[in-house]
Amino acid sequence: MELNVALQESKIIISWKDTGADFYRVFTKHGQDFCECAKIFDNTSIRLSLVPCGENECFVQAVKDGIVIDESKKHKFKTDVLDIICKKDDDDVKFFYSKYEGAQGYRLYKNEAETGFNGCKNSDREFITIKSSSEMEFKVKAFVKNDDGTRKFLASSPVVTCDRNYFRSASIYKSYNYNSFLSWDFKGDADGFLIYTTNSDNPVFETTDGLCHYLRLDDYKSSVKFIIKAFINTLNGRMIVAESEPVSLKVRRYEKPLVSLIIPAYNAQDYIVRSIDSALASDFADLEIIIVNDGSTDNTQKIIDWYEKNYPNVVSIQKENGGVADARNTGIKAAKGEYIAFLDNDDLIRPDMISSLYKSISKNNCDVAIAPLYRIVDKGYTIHCNLPFNVDVPYDINKYLEIMYTPGYYNCAIWNKLYKASIVKAHPLGILKYEDVSWTPCILSYTENFCFLKTPFYEWDRKTRPETFGDVLSKMPENELFENRKQAMLFFVKNGNPKKIDYLRTIAKRRLMRYAKNSTSHELYEELIEKIDSGKL
């Protein structure tokens, strides 16, 4: 079993290949001895914080049925950056930092507005405590004293703020079939979460997914209260860095539909509950959730009916099967909100997605608000649609159209955006394959401006349901695949804003050139590019 050890800023990432074990034991060196620092049950990697600076070693054991079935070689690694963890405790803030062998002390620096970083407190212990509740920046340096009493600095930490690790919100609502679900919004840096009931000393659930924000609570009484604790992994085990207030079942607030979230659904009984729950966990009170059942033949409608009965902001629409674009258009017609967003029936949104996009689009008086998204696979989370724009300021839409489908900005997702409803209603989706690829450039061409946020809010989940309709499309015969792609490109070239035709043609050419690279019919793509470029199509 081979190990890979990487330094990520001031953290250590240890990863290995899955051997089919029940769990993995991770060992690191303490002095002359190796000690177990973690057991990993649902992953093949671990991130370690507060690793002492200098030389170190680690290895991993694979355990199945209580027997070690494989063991890696010992892997040496070295760190020369102080790691730092910030933990708030009432009015106190504690800064924990990694040990530097031979250091005589550690000095905390505070970033003053006019003079920059200035030393404010020393310690020879493993942490420094100060009284603070501001968003001021801090860092720690390890030092030894010179003969003349001055300090010689050995290493420095990255910069952190006091408000780095905290729970912005936590909530429990009713879920399908009168179970319940727990949702939380954690701001900071966690390796996982532990869930406790208020009368339990041991967690009832734990996850090593530091981005997790949702948990079904089956078979718990409505009176039970829960506490969520965020932890990081260290050589000495887990360290709790934040704890939520006790949370119990509450009633979903709803007054009027300012934003309509449209969920097309087809034979989604195995996963749609999770998606609807994530929408109901939104901290935006005035959210209308429109679920369009596109002719499902399983129990999808039964699930939707339950939510419509129990939540006044859930709207159920049934229709004959016509495809995801037709389902979205049906939802668009029914939408009452001033703004529209989309969620697929196997994905999730984070609790603050709608509120964050709404706040930005309102403040900046824009037609569309955009944010990055997470793509989730077995290996974890990757960020897509991270655009090169400043945060929360208005931009002319041409700035986005200029980079669309350039390297690094290929994704043309429909779901990571909040749109002005009047524009969407005037320009519905085409009933095509590749409906998002065909519609997104089209609708954006009719907007005047946009704003961008750097935080990923949408979770495009390829782990729960690995094969999507896009995968089905990619398995089509080459000539059929080309025709579907052609129709998608022609849709936005022909139906997009005529004032933006040069941008739309460029976007189509970029996309077709990318398709051509992986196609045996590249001459068909080249011919189509030439026709689009010349305006013959």
Question: pLDDT (tens digit, 9 = 90+) per residue, 79-121?
Answer: 999 999 998 877 789 999 999 999 999 999 999 888 899 999 9
Domain 168-243 in this protein, CATH class: mainly beta
Q: Tell me which range, 328-337, 506-515, 518-527, is most confidently predicted by mean pLDDT.
A: 328-337
User: How many Å apart are CA 16 and CA 20, to the nearest integer?
Assistant: 12
**How do 380-384 and 395-396 pair as beta strands?**
unpaired
Q: Where does the pLDDT of residue 470 fall: very low under 50, low under 70, confident under 90, or very high at 90 and above?
A: low
User: Is residue 536 predicted with pLDDT exceeding 90?
Assistant: no
Q: Where does the pLDDT of residue 295 fall: very low under 50, low under 70, confident under 90, or very high at 90 and above?
A: very high
13 φ, ψ to 5°?
A: -110, 120
Structurally, at CATH architecture level, domain 259-461 sits in Alpha-Beta Complex (3.90)
Using alpha carbons, select from 433, 439, 388, 390 the residue that is nearest to residue 417: 439
For the chain, the average pLDDT equals 93
- What pLDDT, on a 0 to 100 scale, did the predictor assign at position 409? 87
Q: 235-258: buried (b, 16+ CB within 10 Å) or exposed (e) per residue?
A: beebbebbbbeebebeebebeebb
Report whether CATH 2.60.40.10 matches the domain 84-161.
Answer: yes
Q: Where does the pLDDT of residue 468 fall: very low under 50, low under 70, confident under 90, or very high at 90 and above?
A: low
User: How many Å apart are CA 405 and CA 515, to the nearest integer?
Assistant: 11
Report whether CATH 2.60.120.10 matches the domain 3-79.
Answer: no
- In sequence order, what are the residues at sequence separation of 6 or more whose Cβ sits closer than 8 angstroms to the Cβ of residue 380? 45
How far apart, in Å, do the first and last CA atoms of the chain sit?
Answer: 56
**H-assigned helices in 335-393:** 353-363
User: How many Å apart are CA 386 and CA 396, to the nearest integer?
Assistant: 17
Q: Where does the pLDDT of residue 206 fall: very low under 50, low under 70, confident under 90, or very high at 90 and above?
A: very high
Averaged pLDDT for residues 390-401: 97
- What pLDDT, on a 0 to 100 scale, did the predictor assign at position 194? 97
Averaged pLDDT for residues 354-359: 98
User: How many Å apart are CA 374 and CA 460, to the nearest integer?
Assistant: 6
Write the single-letter amino acid at 331: G
Rg (CA), the chain: 26
pLDDT in tens, 142-169: 999 999 989 999 999 999 988 778 999 9
User: Is residue 365 predicted with pLDDT exceeding 90?
Assistant: yes
Beta partners for residue 155, in sequence order:
142
The two domains 84-161 and 259-461 share their CATH topology (first three levels equal): no
Q: Where are the domains of the chain?
A: 3-79, 84-161, 168-243, 259-461, 476-534
pLDDT in tens, 214-226: 999 998 998 999 9
Averaged pLDDT for residues 289-308: 98
Rounded percentage of the chain residues whose pLDDT exceeds 90:
82
Q: Where does the pLDDT of residue 234 fall: very low under 50, low under 70, confident under 90, or very high at 90 and above?
A: very high
Averaged pLDDT for residues 260-280: 97
Query: What count of residues does the chain have?
Result: 537
Q: Where does the pLDDT of residue 32 fall: very low under 50, low under 70, confident under 90, or very high at 90 and above?
A: confident
| Burial degree of 477 (CB within 10 A; 0-12, 13-18, 19+) | exposed
Rounded percentage of the chain residues whose pLDDT exceeds 70:
98
Averaged pLDDT for residues 267-288: 97
User: How many Å apart are CA 90 and CA 113, to the nearest integer?
Assistant: 25
Beta partners for residue 12, in sequence order:
7, 48
Averaged pLDDT for residues 11-28: 95
Using alpha carbons, select from 366, 375, 371, 423 the residue that is nearest to residue 395: 366
Reduced to 3 states (helix: H, G, I; strand: E, B; else coil), residue 300 is: helix
Helix and strand numbers (H, E) in the chain are 11, 35
Distance of CA 341 to the CA centre of its chain: 17
H or E element in which residue 365 lies: none
Using alpha carbons, select from 261, 290, 34, 49 the residue that is nearest to residue 157: 49
Q: 417-434: buried (b, 16+ CB within 10 Å) or exposed (e) per residue?
A: bbbbbebbeebbbbebbb
Using alpha carbons, select from 201, 239, 456, 226 the residue that is nearest to residue 350: 456
The residue with greater pLDDT, 121 or 43, is: 121
- What pLDDT, on a 0 to 100 scale, did the predictor assign at position 203? 96
- Yes or no: say if 371 and 356 are a contact pair by the CB < 8 Å rule: yes
pLDDT in tens, 321-334: 999 999 999 999 99
Q: 265-278: buried (b, 16+ CB within 10 Å) or exposed (e) per residue?
A: bbbbbeebbbbbbb
User: Is residue 466 predicted with pLDDT exceeding 60?
Assistant: no
